[in-house]
Each structure stands twice: as structure tokens, then as C-alpha cells.
Amino acid sequence: MEPRPRPETRGSSSGGFEGRTPRPLPTRVTDQPVGRVTRVNLYPGTRIIVPPAWDRRTSMPDLGYWRRRDLMAEIKWLSRRGFIPVTAIGDTVDALTDYSQQPAGWRAYGISVPAGGTVQVEVQHAKLGWFRLMLVDKWGQPGPGMLQAAIAHQPVMVTYRNPGKEATAVYVIVDDPAWWSDAKYPYSLHVRRDWDPAKADLSQVKMVAGLWGASPSVSAEFRGPSLTGPAVFPH
């Protein structure tokens, strides 16, 4: 039986994590999230943000909790200080295993989608009830074709159809507030496409765009090539 998560606290990002004072979760979108840090760390030699800590969740998240844990507000605020780290998923990758950044409790991935193409992303883990997926555009907000994923209570599978006339990048955030994923118990992320990657040229899609900055996850393990033909979505 796995141990129950132990609560952690958070505070200024300028030092270690011990002895930090708990602070309330962010609730506002347009202003600095309430109680969050005023300084952030950057990865050395870059303008990529080191995602700051959140309190570790110790009980099953409910609708009220997911609303208070406003990652979109957090990401928009952090983007004023630098770029948000994202790991690009290659065009021939159909699955990966990874775990969330700690003590932030989330990680972001970028996927290229051709015009008119549909992609489906699903997270799997033994503690799936503690996870959710978020789907956003280059500005960290639900763009065209992403509304269904944005209004869902706690999606663990999201589907996106590119309504535009050009290929684009979309960004999937895996949210794991209780830190159930780690090197020993990673989550799996499955990517299903309705196009043949061998016939779609997505080389011109800019993954580093808007508020996102490339920062490949060193813990991710990818599986591919993804397809020999179009994907078949599960019913």
C-alpha cells in the first residue's frame, strides 16, 4: 500500500523548501495570484522559469479545489518574469512516461497539429482520480477548439481539432497536485492522431512561442514511431 501524501509548504523561491510558511492558493486571473511568491528562479543561463512550489494536496481534489488551483492564472503571471517550460512531443511519438515537476506538481508538453487535424491526449496512472489535463494555446489560455476541455470538471483525456488553415502547436498540462507521480510511479501520456505523421510536414510549427520556452523533461521516456496510418480513436 502506497503511503499517503505528506503536506508540504511553500514560500519564497530564493532558497530551500524547508520551513516554508503555507500561503493561500491563487484565485485571480488578471492580477498576481493571491499569496504567491514575488520572485522566481530561472534556469541558469536562460529566461526559463523554474515553476515555484504549491502546497501538496493531501485529500482527494474536488471541484472547489480545482477552481482554487488556478494554474492558468499562475502561468500568465509567471510569464511576466520569463518563459514557461514546455517539453515538445515529437511528431512520431505516441506515448511517454514522465512525472510532474516538484514542488510545483505539474508539467507541460507541446504537440504540433496540422490544419484540420485532430489529436487526443490521455493521462493514465494508478491514482488517476488525483490528476487532470489542461489544454491551452501559446498564451496559456483555452484557444479555439479547446473549450470542451476547459469547461470539463476534471478531464483526464482531452481532444483537440485544429480549426485553422495552418498547422499550430497546442500545449497540454498534466496537473498532479498530490505528487503521486515520481520516478518509481510515473504517469503515462498517450497521444492519438487522425493523420499519418509520415505524410504531414509540421517542421514549420513553432513550439517556442508566446509565453512558452523549450525546456525538455530529462525524466521523460518517449515511445514511437506513433503510426503507420491514421489513429483509431477509442469509443
Which domain, by its residues, includes 190? 85-218
Q: Residue 70: inside a domain, yes or no?
A: no
Q: What pLDDT score does 40 carry?
A: 86
CA nearest 41: which of 113, 104, 92?
A: 104
pLDDT tens for the chain, residues 1 to 235: 444 444 333 333 333 323 333 333 333 333 444 445 567 899 999 999 999 999 899 999 999 999 899 999 999 999 999 999 999 999 999 999 999 999 999 999 999 999 999 999 999 999 999 999 999 999 999 988 898 888 888 899 999 999 999 999 999 999 999 999 999 999 999 999 999 988 999 999 999 999 999 999 999 999 876 444 444 444 3
Q: What is the pLDDT of residues 197-213, one digit of tens each?
A: 889 999 999 999 999 99
- Residue by residue, DSSP assigns 25-90 as PP--SSSPPTT--S---B-TTS-BB-PPP-PPP-S---HHHHHHS-HHHHHHHHTTTSBEEEEEPP
Supply the pTM of this predicted model.
0.81
Residues 10, 23: Cα–Cα separation, whole Å = 7
Q: Residue 12: inside a domain, yes or no?
A: no
CATH number, domain with residue 90: 2.60.120
The one-letter amino acid at 100: S
Q: What is the pLDDT of residues 137-167, one digit of tens each?
A: 999 999 888 988 888 888 999 999 999 999 9
Q: Residue 230: inside a domain, yes or no?
A: no
| Count of domains for the chain | 1
Pairing of strands 132-136, 168-175: antiparallel
The one-letter amino acid at 161: R
The one-letter amino acid at 190: H
Do the Cβ atoms of 46 and 81 come closer than 8 Å? no
Q: Residue 235: inside a domain, yes or no?
A: no
Q: Residue 53: inside a domain, yes or no?
A: no
Q: What pLDDT score does 220 carry?
A: 94
